[in-house]
Amino acid sequence: MGSGDLRALLDEARAGGSTIALVPTMGFLHDGHLSLVDRAAELSDLVVLSIFVNPLQFGPGEDLDRYPRDLDRDVRLAGERGVDVVFAPSVEAMYPDGAPSVTVAPGALADRLCGAARPGHFEGVLTVVAKLLHIARPDVAVFGRKDYQQGVLVRRMVLDLSMPVRVELAPLVREPDGLALSSRNALLSAGERGSALSLSRGLFAAREAFRAGQRDGPALEELVRREIEAAPALRLQYAELVRPDTLERAASARARDVLAVAAFAGATRLIDNVEL
Protein backbone atom coordinates (compact mmCIF):
# COMPACT_ATOMS: atom_id res chain seq x y z
CA MET A 1 0.00 0.00 0.00
CA GLY A 2 1.40 3.37 -1.03
CA SER A 3 0.94 6.62 0.88
CA GLY A 4 -1.72 7.77 -1.61
CA ASP A 5 -3.69 4.57 -1.10
CA LEU A 6 -3.45 4.96 2.66
CA ARG A 7 -4.65 8.56 2.49
CA ALA A 8 -7.63 7.58 0.33
CA LEU A 9 -8.58 4.72 2.66
CA LEU A 10 -8.35 6.88 5.76
CA ASP A 11 -10.16 9.80 4.14
CA GLU A 12 -13.06 7.45 3.44
CA ALA A 13 -13.04 6.18 7.03
CA ARG A 14 -12.89 9.73 8.34
CA ALA A 15 -15.80 10.79 6.13
CA GLY A 16 -17.79 7.96 7.69
CA GLY A 17 -17.16 9.35 11.15
CA SER A 18 -14.34 7.04 12.24
CA THR A 19 -11.52 8.26 14.45
CA ILE A 20 -8.03 7.06 13.59
CA ALA A 21 -5.01 6.08 15.69
CA LEU A 22 -1.48 5.63 14.38
CA VAL A 23 1.10 3.38 16.04
CA PRO A 24 4.51 4.08 14.44
CA THR A 25 7.02 1.20 14.77
CA MET A 26 10.17 -0.15 13.17
CA GLY A 27 8.69 -3.63 13.20
CA PHE A 28 9.90 -6.93 14.64
CA LEU A 29 6.89 -6.61 16.90
CA HIS A 30 6.81 -7.71 20.53
CA ASP A 31 4.28 -7.45 23.35
CA GLY A 32 5.33 -3.86 24.02
CA HIS A 33 4.31 -2.85 20.49
CA LEU A 34 1.11 -4.84 20.78
CA SER A 35 0.23 -3.06 24.03
CA LEU A 36 0.41 0.19 22.03
CA VAL A 37 -2.07 -1.34 19.57
CA ASP A 38 -4.38 -2.16 22.48
CA ARG A 39 -4.19 1.41 23.74
CA ALA A 40 -4.77 2.78 20.23
CA ALA A 41 -7.89 0.61 19.90
CA GLU A 42 -9.22 2.06 23.17
CA LEU A 43 -8.77 5.59 21.81
CA SER A 44 -10.06 5.23 18.23
CA ASP A 45 -12.27 3.37 15.81
CA LEU A 46 -9.52 2.41 13.36
CA VAL A 47 -5.89 1.48 14.13
CA VAL A 48 -3.07 2.00 11.64
CA LEU A 49 0.29 0.37 12.41
CA SER A 50 3.28 1.64 10.46
CA ILE A 51 6.40 -0.51 10.02
CA PHE A 52 9.45 1.33 8.73
CA VAL A 53 13.11 0.94 9.66
CA ASN A 54 14.08 4.56 9.20
CA PRO A 55 17.65 5.00 7.96
CA LEU A 56 17.69 8.69 8.93
CA GLN A 57 17.81 7.85 12.64
CA PHE A 58 20.82 5.52 12.41
CA GLY A 59 24.29 7.02 12.54
CA PRO A 60 27.47 5.71 10.90
CA GLY A 61 28.50 2.40 12.42
CA GLU A 62 25.13 1.84 14.12
CA ASP A 63 23.00 -1.27 13.68
CA LEU A 64 20.83 -0.37 10.67
CA ASP A 65 21.85 -3.52 8.80
CA ARG A 66 21.59 -5.70 11.93
CA TYR A 67 18.22 -4.39 13.03
CA PRO A 68 15.84 -7.39 13.13
CA ARG A 69 13.15 -7.56 10.45
CA ASP A 70 10.31 -10.02 9.74
CA LEU A 71 7.45 -8.32 7.91
CA ASP A 72 5.35 -11.46 7.38
CA ARG A 73 5.44 -12.21 11.12
CA ASP A 74 4.64 -8.59 11.94
CA VAL A 75 1.60 -8.50 9.66
CA ARG A 76 0.32 -11.73 11.19
CA LEU A 77 0.76 -10.47 14.76
CA ALA A 78 -0.83 -7.13 13.90
CA GLY A 79 -3.85 -8.83 12.36
CA GLU A 80 -4.27 -11.13 15.33
CA ARG A 81 -4.22 -8.10 17.63
CA GLY A 82 -6.92 -6.25 15.68
CA VAL A 83 -4.88 -3.76 13.64
CA ASP A 84 -7.03 -2.50 10.77
CA VAL A 85 -4.28 -1.28 8.43
CA VAL A 86 -0.56 -2.05 8.22
CA PHE A 87 1.47 0.58 6.38
CA ALA A 88 4.94 -0.75 5.53
CA PRO A 89 6.54 1.57 2.96
CA SER A 90 9.94 1.01 1.40
CA VAL A 91 12.81 3.43 1.93
CA GLU A 92 12.40 4.53 -1.68
CA ALA A 93 8.72 5.29 -1.12
CA MET A 94 9.39 7.37 1.97
CA TYR A 95 12.44 9.15 0.56
CA PRO A 96 12.03 9.05 -3.25
CA ASP A 97 14.81 11.60 -3.82
CA GLY A 98 17.17 10.12 -1.27
CA ALA A 99 17.85 11.74 2.09
CA PRO A 100 15.48 14.73 2.42
CA SER A 101 16.83 18.26 2.13
CA VAL A 102 14.27 19.58 4.62
CA THR A 103 14.20 17.91 8.04
CA VAL A 104 12.83 18.61 11.53
CA ALA A 105 15.41 20.07 13.92
CA PRO A 106 14.80 18.76 17.46
CA GLY A 107 16.37 21.71 19.29
CA ALA A 108 17.90 21.70 22.77
CA LEU A 109 15.78 18.81 24.05
CA ALA A 110 17.96 16.52 21.92
CA ASP A 111 21.24 17.75 23.39
CA ARG A 112 21.30 15.23 26.23
CA LEU A 113 20.64 11.55 26.98
CA CYS A 114 20.28 9.56 23.74
CA GLY A 115 20.55 12.73 21.67
CA ALA A 116 24.01 13.51 23.05
CA ALA A 117 25.16 9.94 22.45
CA ARG A 118 23.63 9.68 18.96
CA PRO A 119 24.04 12.98 17.06
CA GLY A 120 21.39 13.38 14.38
CA HIS A 121 19.26 10.54 15.72
CA PHE A 122 16.29 12.63 16.81
CA GLU A 123 16.37 14.77 13.68
CA GLY A 124 15.79 11.51 11.80
CA VAL A 125 13.10 10.38 14.22
CA LEU A 126 11.12 13.63 14.10
CA THR A 127 11.41 13.88 10.33
CA VAL A 128 9.93 10.43 9.75
CA VAL A 129 7.26 10.89 12.43
CA ALA A 130 6.24 14.19 10.84
CA LYS A 131 5.94 12.44 7.46
CA LEU A 132 3.85 9.62 8.94
CA LEU A 133 1.56 12.08 10.72
CA HIS A 134 1.02 14.04 7.50
CA ILE A 135 0.31 10.86 5.54
CA ALA A 136 -2.12 9.28 8.02
CA ARG A 137 -3.52 12.44 9.67
CA PRO A 138 -4.53 10.46 12.78
CA ASP A 139 -6.54 11.81 15.69
CA VAL A 140 -4.09 10.19 18.09
CA ALA A 141 -0.59 8.72 17.78
CA VAL A 142 0.56 6.18 20.35
CA PHE A 143 4.21 5.79 21.36
CA GLY A 144 5.89 3.66 24.00
CA ARG A 145 7.33 5.10 27.18
CA LYS A 146 10.54 3.07 26.86
CA ASP A 147 11.74 5.62 24.30
CA TYR A 148 10.99 8.39 26.78
CA GLN A 149 13.07 11.16 25.23
CA GLN A 150 11.51 10.39 21.85
CA GLY A 151 8.05 10.80 23.34
CA VAL A 152 8.95 14.16 24.88
CA LEU A 153 10.35 15.39 21.57
CA VAL A 154 7.38 14.20 19.51
CA ARG A 155 5.00 15.99 21.88
CA ARG A 156 7.11 19.14 21.60
CA MET A 157 7.14 18.95 17.80
CA VAL A 158 3.36 18.52 17.68
CA LEU A 159 2.90 21.50 19.99
CA ASP A 160 5.44 23.79 18.33
CA LEU A 161 4.31 23.00 14.77
CA SER A 162 0.56 23.05 15.60
CA MET A 163 -0.02 19.53 14.35
CA PRO A 164 -3.65 18.48 14.96
CA VAL A 165 -2.92 15.19 16.72
CA ARG A 166 -2.90 13.95 20.31
CA VAL A 167 0.27 12.13 21.37
CA GLU A 168 -0.24 9.31 23.86
CA LEU A 169 2.67 7.73 25.77
CA ALA A 170 1.75 4.19 26.79
CA PRO A 171 3.42 2.36 29.70
CA LEU A 172 6.70 0.52 29.28
CA VAL A 173 6.28 -3.27 29.09
CA ARG A 174 8.77 -5.70 30.66
CA GLU A 175 9.61 -9.37 30.57
CA PRO A 176 8.71 -11.25 33.79
CA ASP A 177 12.34 -10.89 34.93
CA GLY A 178 12.25 -7.11 34.47
CA LEU A 179 14.03 -6.64 31.14
CA ALA A 180 12.37 -3.87 29.10
CA LEU A 181 10.91 -5.29 25.89
CA SER A 182 12.84 -4.22 22.81
CA SER A 183 13.22 -5.53 19.28
CA ARG A 184 16.97 -5.36 19.86
CA ASN A 185 16.70 -7.99 22.62
CA ALA A 186 16.67 -10.56 19.80
CA LEU A 187 20.29 -9.59 19.07
CA LEU A 188 21.52 -10.51 22.56
CA SER A 189 23.38 -13.70 23.37
CA ALA A 190 22.25 -15.62 26.46
CA GLY A 191 25.09 -14.12 28.48
CA GLU A 192 24.41 -10.59 27.26
CA ARG A 193 20.75 -10.94 28.08
CA GLY A 194 21.59 -12.00 31.62
CA SER A 195 23.85 -9.00 32.04
CA ALA A 196 21.19 -6.71 30.54
CA LEU A 197 18.98 -7.36 33.57
CA SER A 198 21.30 -5.03 35.48
CA LEU A 199 19.64 -2.07 33.75
CA SER A 200 16.26 -2.72 35.33
CA ARG A 201 17.79 -3.91 38.62
CA GLY A 202 19.69 -0.65 38.97
CA LEU A 203 16.65 1.45 38.10
CA PHE A 204 14.42 -0.48 40.51
CA ALA A 205 16.99 -0.10 43.30
CA ALA A 206 17.10 3.66 42.75
CA ARG A 207 13.31 3.86 42.70
CA GLU A 208 13.10 2.00 46.00
CA ALA A 209 15.73 4.32 47.48
CA PHE A 210 13.60 7.29 46.42
CA ARG A 211 10.55 5.72 48.05
CA ALA A 212 12.62 5.26 51.20
CA GLY A 213 13.46 8.98 51.27
CA GLN A 214 16.61 9.43 49.16
CA ARG A 215 16.37 12.72 47.28
CA ASP A 216 19.97 13.26 46.16
CA GLY A 217 20.05 12.94 42.37
CA PRO A 218 23.71 11.92 41.99
CA ALA A 219 23.24 9.28 44.70
CA LEU A 220 20.31 7.76 42.83
CA GLU A 221 22.30 7.80 39.59
CA GLU A 222 25.20 6.10 41.36
CA LEU A 223 22.96 3.22 42.41
CA VAL A 224 22.20 2.57 38.74
CA ARG A 225 25.82 2.98 37.63
CA ARG A 226 27.09 0.63 40.32
CA GLU A 227 24.72 -2.16 39.26
CA ILE A 228 25.55 -1.82 35.57
CA GLU A 229 29.30 -1.46 35.96
CA ALA A 230 29.38 -4.66 38.02
CA ALA A 231 27.76 -6.67 35.21
CA PRO A 232 29.88 -8.55 32.67
CA ALA A 233 29.31 -7.64 29.00
CA LEU A 234 27.77 -4.24 29.84
CA ARG A 235 29.23 -0.83 29.00
CA LEU A 236 27.37 2.11 30.52
CA GLN A 237 26.66 5.07 28.29
CA TYR A 238 24.65 7.22 30.69
CA ALA A 239 22.51 7.08 33.82
CA GLU A 240 20.77 10.38 34.49
CA LEU A 241 17.91 11.73 36.58
CA VAL A 242 15.90 14.30 34.61
CA ARG A 243 12.76 16.38 34.90
CA PRO A 244 9.87 14.75 33.01
CA ASP A 245 9.07 17.41 30.40
CA THR A 246 12.23 19.50 30.06
CA LEU A 247 14.76 16.62 30.42
CA GLU A 248 16.89 18.93 32.56
CA ARG A 249 19.30 17.14 34.91
CA ALA A 250 17.80 16.97 38.40
CA ALA A 251 20.17 17.48 41.32
CA SER A 252 17.36 16.89 43.82
CA ALA A 253 14.79 14.21 43.02
CA ARG A 254 11.06 14.70 43.18
CA ALA A 255 8.01 12.69 42.20
CA ARG A 256 7.55 12.14 38.44
CA ASP A 257 11.24 12.69 37.69
CA VAL A 258 12.59 10.11 35.25
CA LEU A 259 15.72 8.05 35.79
CA ALA A 260 16.99 7.03 32.34
CA VAL A 261 19.81 4.73 31.35
CA ALA A 262 21.56 3.51 28.20
CA ALA A 263 24.20 0.80 27.97
CA PHE A 264 25.76 -1.55 25.46
CA ALA A 265 25.40 -5.30 25.95
CA GLY A 266 28.12 -6.45 23.61
CA ALA A 267 27.38 -4.58 20.38
CA THR A 268 23.70 -3.99 21.18
CA ARG A 269 22.57 -0.69 22.64
CA LEU A 270 19.73 -0.90 25.18
CA ILE A 271 17.74 1.82 26.95
CA ASP A 272 15.42 1.80 29.94
CA ASN A 273 13.84 4.22 32.41
CA VAL A 274 11.62 4.47 35.45
CA GLU A 275 9.46 7.26 36.80
CA LEU A 276 9.97 8.08 40.47
Query: What φ, ψ does residue 143 adopt, rounded to 5°?
Result: -120, 160
Angle between helices 3-15 and 121-136 (to 10 degrees): 50
The single residue of 30, 33, 121, 134 carrying the catalytic annotation is: 33
Report d(CA 169, CA 147) in Å as an integer. 9
Q: Does 134 qualify as catalytic in the annotation?
A: no
Q: Which residue numbers are catalytic?
A: 33
